[in-house]
Structure 1
Amino acid sequence: MPPRRSYDQYCSAARALDLVGDRWTLLIVRELLAGPRRYTDLHADLPGVSTDVLASRLKDMERDGLTTRRRLPPPGAAYVYEVTPRGRGLLPVLQALGTWGESELGERRPTDAVRAHWFALPLLRGLEGEGLVEVGLEEGEFHLRVGAEEGPVYGDGPAPGEADARLDLDTVTCAAISRGELTLTDAVRTGRVTVTGDGTLAKALREV
């Protein structure tokens, strides 16, 4: 592979951008925080990226130790990409970027793609403790692993097992939380988020 481009600056921020500053790289990490993904799944959930660019970014990220690729055993026999512990360390970076970009989100444009699990990061910011949370939106269901120290942080579909809490809300409310206009706590308190379940997280949210 050709050598990685560098800013050639003796600065940790510049060194970090050498690895993750290319277009699409951080969004690939966002997708892989949901767990191992096949190339076709990544391409489907990154609308706008070309196949050539996605393949190139994945090769760069594997070389730089952010992702790995492994072959699934039969009958799957497909390759999947997954984030490494070093790549997973970018979760706080994505959280900070999401917070910083709240004011830029605005109303959804007609050309904006959306996937239900893209709301996982802003919802995670409003949850404390540990546990499995299932979320229901009009666009679909996804689940969050609050306080997870390793493994997937969130994923598509219902929770894989008994959830500690389930949140049901509409996309308007979720977008307001994503824009920083509404906290999850206030959304629960005002009835815009329905909380069900008997786990510690569910009880804590209902008691706010």
Structure 2
Amino acid sequence: MAARDYGQYCGITQALELVGERWALLIVRDLLVGPRRYGELAAGLPRIPSNILAARLKELQAAGVIRRAPRSRVVLYELTPYGRELEPVVLALGAWGFKALGDPRDEQVVTPDAMTMTLRTAFRPQVAASLPATAYAARFGPDELLIHVDGPALDVARGTGPADLEFVAGPSIHRVISGTLTPDRAVSTGEIRVLQGQATLLDRFAQTFHLAA
């Protein structure tokens, strides 16, 4: 029996019974970036109580959405092929929710996995295909992402490496993605700080990653 039973025979109802509990889709969101250890999932969801995380993982496993994947002495959680089918759903929800995002509250954080999924949601492969291949090294608080765009292909990974543009940004990067803050304005106000490379490459970034607000 699902944790929540709506008593209706419907595909949407069934989907909500499987992944509609609080935190469940955020666990799926982070696992769409890659397999994670229990501690990594907890760190990426800093407000989730440990008993709720354990319960959601158990429920998602029972539903066939995720599985435990022992690797050497470490146990990882990863999406099953059935679970990975949620990717377009999660990306569509991200684009829909982005329209109502507003300004961040003081207590809200931007995690690397959440930012990775935002970039994947905002990526415009048809635009990127007409632009030169570009690597961006982006620092969001203590976290660093290396963003490779090569034609219609996007790769986002944690860490640093050679990049055409290296920059530091806060939550205001979402305003650049939405088009409500121009790259020039973001740099002039200090909301984005360029560490290396030509600041004009931020215009290319804004072309490549865009979501309507």
State TM-score, norm by structure 1: 0.72
Q: Which residue of 2 aligns with 1:87?
A: 83
CA-to-aligned-CA distance 1:16-49 (integer Å, 9 cap, x gap): 1111110001000111112111101111110111
Q: Which runs of 5+ in 2 are unaligned?
A: 208-213
What RMSD over aligned residues (CA atoms) do the two structures have, in Å? 3.5
Structure 1 partner of 2:51: 52
Deviation sequence 1:94-115 (CA, Å, 0-9, x none) = 2211221123322121111222
After superposition, the Cα gap between the structure-2 partners of 1:117 and 1:132, relative to the gap in structure 1 and judged at 3 Å, is farther
1:199 counterpart residue number: none
- What residue identity is the alignment partner of 2:91? Q
In the TM superposition, residue 118 of structure 1 has moved relative to its aligned partner by 1.7
| Equivalent residue number for residue 116 of structure 2 | 120
Within 5 A, what are the aligned runs for 1:105-184?
A: 105-124=101-120, 125-128=122-125, 134-139=136-141, 140-143=143-146, 154-158=156-160, 168=167, 170-177=169-176, 180-182=178-180
Contact residue 116 and residue 137 of structure 1 kept, 8 A: no
Match of 1:96 in 2: 92
Q: Deviations over 1:37-65 (max 9, x none)?
A: 11011111101111111001001111111
Distance 1:126 1:182, change over 3 A: farther
Partner of 2:26: 27
Asked if the contact 2:138–2:147 (Cα under 8 Å) also holds between the matched residues in 1, the reply is no
**Unaligned stretches of 5+ residues in structure 1:** 197-201
Change (3 A) 1:132 1:65: farther
**TM-score scaled by structure 2?**
0.70
- 2:16 paired residue number: 17
Indicate the SS of the match to 2:104. Answer: coil
Determine what percentage of the aligned residue pairs are the same residue: 32
Q: Which residue of 2 aligns with 1:39?
A: 38
